[in-house]
Chain A
Amino acid sequence: MKEIFRKGEYENERQGGNRESKSGRYGSKQTYTSQIDKKTSSPLTWYVFLIPSFLGILLFMIYPIFESLRLSFYQSNGTIEHFIGLANFKTVLTSGPFWNAVGNTFFIGIFQIVITIPLGFIFASLINSTPRGKNFFKVIYFLPNVTSIVAAAMIFAFVLHPEMGIVNYLLDILGLPTPGWLSDPSTSKWAVILLAVWHWIGFVIIICLANLQAISPEMYEAARIDGASGIQQWLFITVPNMGGTFAFLLITGWIGALQRFNEVYVLGGPNGSPARSIQTMGAFIYERGFTGFEFGIASAATYIMFMIILVFTFINLKLSNMKI
């Protein structure tokens, strides 16, 4: 930091010097640098620049966080409030639909992560070893990730239509059973998992590719000289060097999975139809807050969800040895 400042000072001196030599308008080099110093050395200047973003954070993040905490201790219909202590937390923690939503969230999240990270890594490895068309494959696989999840969910509802959907059409051609997908609680979660994998895999591939391209080619060259096969190189050089990326994907994937709302709302509404089979924690909060006007309960559920994400992220960090 000190060095940078000195460099800046030097730059100022140099600029001052240049100006002086070109125009001769400043009395001396020393006078000009002291003027600049006076302006930049006041810490208040920098705080002024920080005010807009700080106000944004204060209004749209800090205030709602504390307001939501306050609301969780009240019975509130939006305007009329009564303090009821921890009753909202008790209601949420003893609510069957809430724990059903927690179960759904984890089920969908676990399978999304377990399927997408290994599959994305394999695809990334294949793309990385392709001699031609790398960029083409990167674009193709990344496209779903830049698609709006709301639009994608609507399209998936058609793709998984029990009678007219292309998936069941293909299954039927292959002589396989055709599930009801979104109209059957036993398959609806798998419909969401399919969508989630399709949407996230492009991101996983790009991140894995970035890491793959950073692994030193000398390591592979040395392994080849030692007679290692392609699979051995992948297993003993590539995979161990991907640790940091896997940890990053695991943590960000879990946080996203635990906050899942948009796609399940489009596919199953706030109560996660059919029969609450795809209602996630986010959807539970929405249902109680914005369709039932139970803002206290929704706030309490939000804080419980926050605690679950916090604990789970902590466990993930420990397991993955990731330093933040």
Chain B
Amino acid sequence: MEKKCFSKVNVLLAAVLVVAGLLAGCSKSGAGSGEADGEWAGQKINVQLIGDFAMETKTDPVTGESVKGVEVLKEEFEKQHPGATVEFTLMPWEGYTEKTQAMITSGDADVYQMPGTVDFAPQGVLEPLQPYIDKDEEFDLDIFIENQVEGWKALGPDDDELQIYGLPFLGDARFIAYDKQLFDEWGVDYLSDHPTMEEVAEKAKQMTGKNPVTGEQNYGIWFRGDWSSAFTLIDLAEGQNGSWGSGFAWDEIEFNFDSPEMVNGLNWLLDMQELAPEGLVSNQGNEKWLTEENNIAIMLNQGPGDTVKPAYAQGLEDRIGIAQEFKNDEGVGGLFAGSPITIAKDSENKDLAWEWVKFATSEFTQQYIFEEMGLVPSIKSAMEWDSVKDTELMQPVFEAMSSPWTPRYPWGSAQPRFILTSEVEAALTGERSAEEALNKAQKESTEWLENR
């Protein structure tokens, strides 16, 4: 009898749980339900974002200020699109490629922030955006900063020409940063807005040694000798009117890794290494940069994320200067970077996803990413915002954003990048001469192309 009672209780408990589960599963969550009626009733999209985004208000670890979460975007988007629901999948930069691959393979999201558009578009998993742009009379590509749309063009599996698979969401740029205080203490003129390799080398040489004012050891220059060294070298070649090579589709690509401009550029880096602290190839030696005790005068290949926000957070904005990377005679050069926003091919609500893409590139969202997150906007009108005008260091950043090499290097995250990086490291560590290293990089990259 006792046993029967016990089993009845069990059955009852299980039934209650099942009913509760069903009710919970079928119900709409309070915050994200949107309105039952409206133009977009019943439509839902999942948006993937990469970086320091959070759903709710949080404290910025760099500035210590309170930062609103993406719930602000959700609220505004759902207000503008009655009946629609937007959900977010937020992920950090660490391992974003494999996480994005897993998500897109399993159809997890409708909209992706996707720096690897060049790699994902050939998989046929992204929706071409040109038809949406053509159809939407409200939307105009002219809203974006020069070169930003061009930079993200990519080839789909069946494309013969570059197509738009992503629209600029987060801006980014590469530039040369320098410490004005060290220049003053050494009595050296600041870098010009568009310095040449000779100017940088000469000034770096002048500022290496015991600082005449503080007596501390100063170094004229620093650059990362490992992860991004291939891009630093390519920019040096571009500054001499050279290039990494040509083509975009793998079967059309030809590398110029062993060109005279590249060899000259690598020899220049070897010379500059003598003016830098130890540890370039292990990303060390720059620990004092952006601190009061800084001991490095010139930093090559820097980005706004590592420079602008930390400089203002540390109160060092007046001390930091920004000059453009090395450009060719047409004023073009340097790595194209940032994050576009894309629509998944298998999205069930592509029209709503397109609405999100427009919303992500609207003034509302772009202002949010700059003023709340400290990220770089990708639209021209940002330059007129008071918040941008008050941030003086942003002006050269916008200039750098408008003149990188476009489209983005197609081999930027493929094997040739790692081959070239390893060979730059081999030269910097004295394993091979610049010429030998680049000949090896050229040979191995070409063989990789032929065998793929």
> B-contacting residues of A (Cβ < 8 Å)?
25, 75, 77-80, 91, 96-97, 157, 161-164, 180-185, 188, 267-271, 273-276, 287-294
Residue numbers in B under 8 Å from A288 (CB-CB)? 415
B419 to chain A, nearest CB (A): 8
Contact A292:B105 (CB < 8 A) given known A163-B278, A274-B226? no
B279 at the interface (CB under 8 A from A): yes
CA distance A138 to B157 in the complex (A): 59
B278 touches A180 (CB 8 A): yes
B122 touches A184 (CB 8 A): no
B101 at the interface (CB under 8 A from A): yes
> A-contacting residues of B (Cβ < 8 Å)?
1-2, 95, 97-98, 101, 105, 119, 122-125, 157, 225-227, 277-282, 284-285, 287, 413-415, 418, 421-423, 425-426, 428-429, 431, 444, 451-452
Contact A271:B123 (CB < 8 A) given known A78-B105, A291-B97, A292-B414? no
Residue of B with least CB distance to A168: B278
Residue numbers in B under 8 Å from A183 (CB-CB)? 225, 278-282, 284, 429
Contact A273:B122 (CB < 8 A) given known A91-B451, A180-B278? no
Residue numbers in A under 8 Å from B125 (CB-CB)? 79
Residue numbers in B under 8 Å from A270 (CB-CB)? 418
B422 touches A276 (CB 8 A): yes
A163 touches B279 (CB 8 A): yes
B408 to chain A, nearest CB (A): 15
Contact A161:B124 (CB < 8 A) given known A273-B226, A291-B413, A292-B418? no
A273 touches B97 (CB 8 A): no
CA distance A289 to B418 in the complex (A): 13
Contact A185:B429 (CB < 8 A) given known A291-B413, A292-B415? yes
CA distance A299 to B225 in the complex (A): 30
A-B pairs, 10 with minimum CB distance: A182-B282, A79-B123, A273-B226, A162-B278, A274-B281, A183-B282, A275-B426, A275-B425, A274-B425, A290-B98
Contact A274:B277 (CB < 8 A) given known A77-B123, A79-B105, A184-B429? no
Residue numbers in B under 8 Å from A161 (CB-CB)? 279, 284, 287
CA distance A162 to B281 in the complex (A): 11
Residue numbers in B under 8 Å from A269 (CB-CB)? 226-227
CA distance A268 to B422 in the complex (A): 11
Residue numbers in B under 8 Å from A163 (CB-CB)? 277-279, 284-285
Residue picked from A157, A182, A273, A287, most chain B C-beta under 10 Å: A273
B263 to chain A, nearest CB (A): 18
Contact A25:B282 (CB < 8 A) given known A79-B105, A275-B425? no
Contact A79:B415 (CB < 8 A) given known A185-B429, A276-B422? no
B123 touches A80 (CB 8 A): yes
Pick from A77, A97, A275, A294: contact of B122, CB below 8 A. A77
List 4 other contacts, CB 8 Å, given A181-B282, A274-B429, A291-B414.
A182-B279, A274-B282, A274-B425, A290-B98
B422 touches A271 (CB 8 A): yes
Q: Could you jot down 9 A-B contacts, CB within 8 Å?
A: A80-B123, A157-B284, A162-B282, A164-B287, A183-B282, A271-B418, A271-B422, A275-B429, A291-B414
Pick from B281, B414, B425: contact of A293, CB below 8 A. B414
Residue numbers in A under 8 Å from B444 (CB-CB)? 96
Pick from B414, B421, B429: contact of A271, CB below 8 A. B421
B73 to chain A, nearest CB (A): 29
Residue numbers in A under 8 Å from B95 (CB-CB)? 290
Residue picked from A79, A274, A292, most chain B C-beta under 10 Å: A274
Residue numbers in B under 8 Å from A78 (CB-CB)? 101, 105, 123
Residue of B with least CB distance to A164: B287
CA distance A271 to B229 in the complex (A): 13
CA distance A29 to B284 in the complex (A): 78
Residue numbers in A under 8 Å from B431 (CB-CB)? 185, 275
CA distance A291 to B428 in the complex (A): 23
Residue numbers in B under 8 Å from A274 (CB-CB)? 225-226, 281-282, 425-426, 428-429
CA distance A184 to B284 in the complex (A): 12
CA distance A164 to B295 in the complex (A): 13
B401 to chain A, nearest CB (A): 25
Residue picked from A77, A161, A287, most chain B C-beta under 10 Å: A77
CA distance A280 to B413 in the complex (A): 19
Contact A80:B122 (CB < 8 A) given known A274-B425, A287-B418, A291-B97? yes
B109 to chain A, nearest CB (A): 15
Residue numbers in B under 8 Å from A291 (CB-CB)? 97, 413-414, 418
Residue numbers in A under 8 Å from B425 (CB-CB)? 185, 273-275
B101 to chain A, nearest CB (A): 5
Residue numbers in B under 8 Å from A162 (CB-CB)? 278-279, 282, 284-285
Residue numbers in A under 8 Å from B429 (CB-CB)? 183-185, 274-275
Residue numbers in A under 8 Å from B105 (CB-CB)? 78-79
